Amino acid sequence: MSKRPKLEELNVLDDFMLNAIANDPDVGEAFFKEVLSILLEREIGEIHVKAQSVIPGDTPELRGIRLDVEIYEEDDSPAKCRIYNMESQTYPELDIQKTLLSG
């Protein structure tokens, strides 16, 4: 059995912390708006954050998915809304940036 880290040892990439931020009405939207702005290198419009969203499979044979954080950005484009899924990853042996760029 692996030892659970203490709260002081966690960072925002840990699932527990990401979920806590997403559920905090005082900081959640501002935090994710800033993260999206940095990642997408543009200003982000009005957003709404939904933590721990579950999308069930269409049939009993298909598996559903669990999204750590689902973010809806209101937009003036014809689409009217952009949807982002933010997942926490804390695997030190995996280079996420390389995976995203090459995949």
**Which range of residues forms the domain containing residue 69?**
8-91
* 16 closest CA partner among 8, 56, 72: 8
Q: Residue 6 carries which DSSP code?
A: P
In-domain check, residue 87? yes
Count of domains observed in the chain: 1
Give the pTM: 0.70
CA atoms 17, 86, 82, 75: torsion sign: positive
In-domain check, residue 40? yes
In-domain check, residue 97? no
Maximal C-alpha separation, the chain: 51
For residue 27, pLDDT beyond 80: yes
* 70 closest CA partner among 88, 51, 47, 55: 51
What pLDDT is stored for residue 94 in this prediction?
Answer: 58
Interval 44-56: pLDDT, tens: 989 999 888 778 8
What mean pLDDT is predicted for residues 72-92?
77
In-domain check, residue 101? no
Task: Give the separation between CA 44 and CA 74, rounded to whole angstroms.
Answer: 9
For residue 69, pLDDT beyond 70: yes
- With cut-offs at 50, 70 and 90, classify the pLDDT of residue 76: confident
Collapsing DSSP states into helix, strand and coil, what is residue 41?
coil
In-domain check, residue 96? no
